[in-house]
């Protein structure tokens, strides 16, 4: 009755709605009560974004599937573990972003929606981003995998994290996909024909060593992020296959102590290199000098690195005069060289062609790079754009 009295359906200017259930040891409401409360909180058809958290019911309300909710562009459902069956959201005409976290569902599209022998509208026609996280029972996007060409026709971003039962569909059926986040074991199921030329891949490995050779068939790959790998198996065969790789991110590889000598010389097309949150990394190899196309280098949260390679002075193209429009959104700033949160780095090598420099949270390096008075100022005085955080 309280939910009905809220009269959410009459609030025609409401665009964003967040519904959250907080639980404690004394709060053990039955599933049916949650279901009835959420059913009574039906919003006005002008709603655009809906967030549901902590709902303990088994079924989401009918109004989520209702054709009256035609303006919704984003739905986020998290920590609703009792939900075993996903609602029919495939016909929402403007739904662009869907985030699902910690649920018990097995498929995003159930069997009767596709493959039933009856003509059905294309499912999720407007969806561009699909993030699936901590869904242990999820087996696939659609129960009828052969119908994948009739679903998600405009999907650009697919992220799958900690979905142990998930089977990746053929990427060739997702023709507009630009970003794929998954495990290396998922990549093994794909063929080279599955990889669009503009696809970026992010691989998250929580338990195992990431094998670079898993990418040897992806010769067209342009962008690669390796996240949370305890170790990385750098093999020559795997590296040589990445001849078109222009962007490499190494993130949260917490036990990685070094990049093997000889590794970087195979990545000759590399333009953007980011190494972030690798607390055991001791140094960068001198063969960074072979990255003649490198335009942007970001080093951040590397507490054990004590110096930058002298080979930096050979990076004659290390500049950002002509940034591409497709620069990843995650870049924190647009500088040729950024050294941040690397407290043991003492000095900077001569960089005659550098155009942009950022030094932040590196006390010794900041002192030496101070304008006019720093011991390394003469090495960077020519740099067009400089940001040095104050001591």
- Tell me if 234 is assigned to some domain: no
4 within domain boundaries: yes
Q: Is residue 233 part of a domain?
A: no
The answer to whether position 119 is within a domain reads yes
Spell out the per-residue pLDDT of the chain, length 391, in tens: 888 898 999 999 999 999 998 765 444 556 788 888 999 999 999 999 999 999 988 888 889 886 678 899 999 999 998 888 888 888 899 999 999 999 999 889 876 544 445 556 788 999 999 999 999 999 988 877 544 557 888 999 999 998 888 888 776 667 788 898 988 777 777 776 766 667 788 887 665 677 777 777 777 788 889 888 877 877 777 788 888 888 999 998 888 888 877 778 888 888 899 999 999 999 888 888 788 788 889 999 999 999 888 777 666 544 444 444 444 444 333 358 999 999 999 988 887 778 889 999 999 999 999 988 899 999 899 888 999 987 5
Residues in the chain, how many?
A: 391
Asked if 165 and 139 touch (Cβ cutoff 8 Å), the reply is yes
Closest by Cα among 171, 108, 175 to 142: 108
Which CATH number characterizes residue 55's domain?
Answer: 3.80.10.10
Query: Tokens for 256?
Result: 């990685």
Q: Would residue 17 count as lying in a domain?
A: yes
Judge contact between 253 and 228, C-beta under 8 A: yes
Residue 381 lies in a domain: no
Domain span at 80: 1-177
Question: Tokens 């222009």 — which residue?
Answer: 246
- 80 is written with which tokens? 């609703």
Q: Is residue 34 part of a domain?
A: yes
Within a domain: residue 322?
Answer: no
- Residue 46: which residues within 8 A CB-CB, separation 6 or more? 12, 13, 14, 15, 71
Give the DSSP per-residue string, 111-163.
Answer: GGGSSSSS--PPBTTT--EEEEES-TT--EEESSGGGGGGB-TT--EEEEES-
Total structural domains in the chain?
A: 1
pTM above 0.85, yes or no: no
């Amino acid at each position: 009755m309280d939910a009905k009295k809220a009269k959410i359906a009459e609030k025609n200017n409401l665009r964003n709605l967040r519904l959250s259930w907080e639980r404690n040891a004394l709060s053990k409401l039955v599933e049916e009560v949650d279901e009835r409360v959420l059913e009574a909180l039906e919003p006005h058809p002008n709603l655009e974004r809906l967030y549901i958290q902590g709902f303990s019911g088994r079924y989401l309300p009918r109004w989520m599937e209702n054709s009256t909710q035609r303006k919704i562009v984003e739905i986020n459902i998290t920590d609703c573990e009792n939900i075993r069956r996903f609602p029919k959201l495939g016909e929402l005409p403007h739904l662009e972003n869907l985030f699902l976290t910690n649920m018990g569902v097995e498929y995003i599209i159930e069997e009767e929606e596709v493959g039933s022998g009856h003509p059905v509208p294309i499912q999720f026609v407007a969806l561009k981003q699909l993030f699936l996280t901590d869904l242990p029972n999820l087996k696939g996007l659609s129960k009828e995998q052969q119908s994948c060409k009739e679903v998600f026709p405009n999907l650009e971003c697919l992220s799958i994290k900690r979905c142990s039962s998930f089977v990746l569909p053929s990427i060739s059926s997702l023709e507009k996909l630009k970003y794929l986040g998954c495990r290396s074991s998922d990549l093994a199921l794909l063929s080279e024909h599955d990889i669009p030329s503009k696809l970026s891949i992010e691989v998250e490995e929580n338990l195992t060593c990431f094998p670079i050779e898993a990418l040897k068939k992806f010769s067209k790959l342009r962008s690669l992020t390796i996240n949370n790998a305890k170790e990385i198996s750098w093999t020559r065969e795997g590296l040589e296959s990445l001849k078109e790789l222009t962007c490499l991110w190494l993130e949260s590889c917490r036990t990685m102590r070094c990049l093997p000598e000889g590794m970087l010389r195979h990545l000759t097309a590399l333009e953007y290199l980011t190494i972030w949150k690798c607390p055991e990394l001791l140094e960068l190899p001198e063969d960074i000098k072979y990255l003649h196309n490198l335009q942007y280098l970001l080093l951040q949260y590397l507490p054990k690195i004590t110096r930058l390679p002298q080979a930096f002075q050979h990076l004659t193209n290390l500049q950002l005069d002509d940034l591409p429009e497709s620069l990843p959104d995650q870049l924190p700033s647009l500088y040729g060289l950024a050294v941040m949160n690397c407290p043991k780095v003492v000095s900077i090598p001569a960089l005659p062609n550098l155009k942009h420099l950022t030094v932040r949270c590196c006390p010794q390096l900041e002192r030496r790079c101070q304008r006019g008075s720093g011991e390394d100022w003469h090495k960077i005085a020519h740099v067009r754009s400089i940001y040095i955080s104050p001591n």
